Copies of this chain bind each other. A is one copy, B any other.
Amino acid sequence: MKKRVYNFAAGPATLPYEVLEASAAALLDFQGKGYGIAECSHRGKEFDAVLDETIARCRALLSIPETHDVLFLQGGATQQFAVIPMNFLSGPAEYVVSGEWSRKSSEAAKGIGGDKIRVIASSESTAFDRLPSPINPDPNAAYLHICSNETVHGNRFVEWPSHPTLVVDASSEIMSRPHPVARTGIIYAGAQKNLGPSGVVLMIVRKDLYDRIPKSVPKIFNYKVHAEAKSCLNTPPTFGIYVLLETFRWMERQGGLAAIEKRNAEKAKAIYDAIDESGGYYKGTVSDKAARSHMNITFKLAKDELTDKFIKEASAKDMVALKGYRTVGGIRASVYNGMPVEGCQALATHMREFAKANG
């Protein structure tokens, strides 16, 4: 293995090296066939087997019931921000705004549905330092939309709220833990945090929702048509899907999602402890500790002017991409599934040493 740094990028993000190695090998040659996995037809038997196995492993890892389809789409979660209301706005829909991404999705939905989009709870007035409360969704709403983990602001719903049609943008926490698929209408996620390269969207859709799709929706944006075509209505991002397969295999080798959740909790605790034990030297930007993300750990230095120095010295210790989002500032450590425990421990050590040296 080449020398790897600890890469805390928010997405595209660090992937397990085993996944990269297996994917790079398959790019050059797939199963000794004399061509790579990106070079064969999406309708041929090689890719069809890849697709079947990818779906099956995804189903097994997440215990996805037969009531739900697994789709691999394009356009990122951002495209689904518009396409979900195009498909499923059979009546008013409700959005919870808990950070940058749920705000963006609600705005995109308003562009499609106008007044039918209702923001029923927001924590914007406190700079998203907590989850909105109370959340009292109307069970008759077409759906309730949440972003379960906010990449920019570093909060998460430990428990997803309940609604007959819960729609969850889980981009930045997908498969970082088990998800309650059976009680959701839709879970969707861009791949580029926990699953693989950008350019693939994993979408888990409850099949009964297809009945709501208006006839006016163009085929290419109609989720039912994509489901019937097993994500091959048009050429899917075949190589990206292959990387997801290798990631799912890796997840199983890690012991599955319950084991991954436990490891992620340990990783997050290492850094949050360094914040909480710093005597105020570091301050988490999420004030409600119960809502702290296990994927995106956001904090500031009390001496804000030392932020650049903190980042520079971390970089010298092979820890990169720690700069906070431009509207938030400070530090953001994204610690997706691909980040090893040792990376989080190294960052915690750096935090303690830096505080001591710059007290």
**Partner-B contacts on A (CB < 8 A):** 2-5, 7, 9-15, 17, 20-21, 23-25, 27-29, 32-36, 38-42, 44, 74-79, 81-82, 108, 111-112, 190, 192, 196-200, 218-221, 233-240, 243, 318, 320-321
Measured CA separation A89–B33 after assembly (Å): 46
How far does the Cβ of A163 sit from chain B's closest Cβ, in whole Å?
A: 25
Is B29 a contact of A27 with CB atoms below 8 Å? no
Task: List the number of copies, as a whole number.
Answer: 2
Is A238 a contact of B197 with CB atoms below 8 Å? yes
Is A15 a contact of B39 with CB atoms below 8 Å? yes
How far does the Cβ of A313 sit from chain B's closest Cβ, in whole Å?
A: 17
Is B24 a contact of A28 with CB atoms below 8 Å? yes
How far does the Cβ of A47 sit from chain B's closest Cβ, in whole Å?
A: 8
Is A38 a contact of B237 with CB atoms below 8 Å? no
If A82-B220, A240-B237 touch, whether A5 touches B33 (CB-CB below 8 Å) is yes
Is B27 a contact of A74 with CB atoms below 8 Å? no
Q: Which of B15, B34, B35, B236 contacts A38 (CB 8 A)?
A: B15
Is B23 a contact of A27 with CB atoms below 8 Å? yes
Q: Which residue of B lies closest to A2 (CB)?
A: B29
Is B41 a contact of A10 with CB atoms below 8 Å? yes
Q: Which of B9, B28, B41, B75 contacts A321 (CB 8 A)?
A: B41
Is A111 a contact of B20 with CB atoms below 8 Å? no
Residues from chain B with a CB closer than 8 A to the CB of A29 are 2
Residues from chain B with a CB closer than 8 A to the CB of A28 are 2, 17, 20-21, 24
If A198-B42, A221-B82 touch, whether A36 touches B20 (CB-CB below 8 Å) is yes
If A76-B234, A79-B220, A199-B199 touch, whether A12 touches B33 (CB-CB below 8 Å) is no
If A27-B24, A35-B4, A200-B199 touch, whether A235 touches B12 (CB-CB below 8 Å) is yes
Residues from chain B with a CB closer than 8 A to the CB of A236 are 198-199
Is B74 a contact of A75 with CB atoms below 8 Å? yes
Measured CA separation A2–B27 after assembly (Å): 12
Measured CA separation A32–B34 after assembly (Å): 29
For the complex of A and B, list the 8 residue pairs with the smallest distance between their C-beta atoms, beginning with the closest.
Answer: A199-B237, A5-B34, A78-B234, A24-B24, A38-B197, A74-B74, A198-B235, A197-B239
What are 8 sample pairs from A and B whose C-beta atoms fall under 8 A apart?
Answer: A5-B35, A7-B40, A9-B40, A9-B41, A38-B196, A76-B235, A78-B220, A198-B237
Measured CA separation A27–B37 after assembly (Å): 15
Measured CA separation A271–B235 after assembly (Å): 27
